[in-house]
Structure 1
Amino acid sequence: MQKPVIEINGLSFDSLDGFYDVFGRAVLGSTEYGGNLDAFNDVLRGGFGSPDGGFVLRWTNADISRERLGHDETARFLERKLRTCHPTNVEHVRNDLMRARNGEGETLFDIICAILRDHGPDGEEPEDGVVLELA
């Protein structure tokens, strides 16, 4: 059986919150799924309205998203996270924030792609059947 192809366009958002909204509408028909990385990860496991048996996520204009979800947006994300994280995690988040501000380390784009790939054929949860295509 061929998996459904769901397309998101990198021109349609310029922030992590925008990604959550575009992804939610494309995959679930709604943005009501929690809008955070944990909820995003949960949706990829299925059972939240995502297609049974997985899907192909075709991310067009991914190069634009790579830039928009780059170090600047990652730093903004980490600044918010620093205000709410557990005290034992503050030092780690602060170090990640300093690296992002210096244009170093993983970006949100990298993190999102890694989460998607974890749910695909070569990932830790291949049974979810999610395939990422960057275009």
Structure 2
Amino acid sequence: MTVTYVIEGSRVTGLEQFWKVIGEAVNGPDGYFGRNLDALADCLGGGMGTPDDDDFVFEWRDHASSARALGHAETARYLRQILSRAHPTNRPAMGKRLDEALAGRGPTLFDLIVEILADGADRGTLRLS
């Protein structure tokens, strides 16, 4: 049996709201399915609400709305937040990523999240609608 988790893209107004939306999609009200990119990848590995034996699909509805909300401006905001906590050896590369986001270039949070979800496609699939 295939389980479909619906991400309502119109509800995604920023990164914090994305974590809430995907958590609820997978694990119900106040559900958890990651609160950062690494945790999202870990959750896709199983045991955090995804079925262990069944196939699953993430259906991201109105993904274009989410792409706007998780675009370069939100990516720059996120990078500013984590830059001070980054390991000193990672700060120069992260600073370059921040400069790129501020200039409207480079991968966005939406791009990174889609990549993580798509990489989990060996267990499930991602449908953007």
TM range (shorter): over 0.9
| Native 8 Å contact 2:22 2:33 kept in 1 | no
User: Separation in 2 of the partners of 1:96 and 1:68?
Assistant: 18
Equivalent-residue separation in structure 1 for 2:88 and 2:37 (angstroms): 20
Q: 1:134 to 1:36 in 2, by over 3 A?
A: same
Aligned to 2:4: 5
User: 1:34 Cα shift?
Assistant: 4.6
SS of 2:57 mapped into structure 1: strand
Counterpart of 1:42 in structure 2 is: 42
Aligned to 1:28: 27
Task: Give, in angstroms, the shift of residue 31 of structure 1.
Answer: 3.4
TM-score (norm. length: structure 2): 0.93
Task: Note the residue ranges of structure 1 that are not aligned, 5 or more in a row.
Answer: 121-125
- What percentage of residue pairs aligned between the two structures are identical? 41
- Unaligned 5+ runs, structure 2: none
Aligned residue runs from structure 1 range 117-132, under 5 A: 117-120=118-121, 126=122, 129-132=123-126
Tell me the amino acid that sits aligned with residue 92 of structure 1. A
Deviant stretches of 4+, over 3 Å: 30-34
- Normalising to structure 1: TM-score of the pair? 0.89
Contact 2:2 2:56 in 1 (8 A): yes
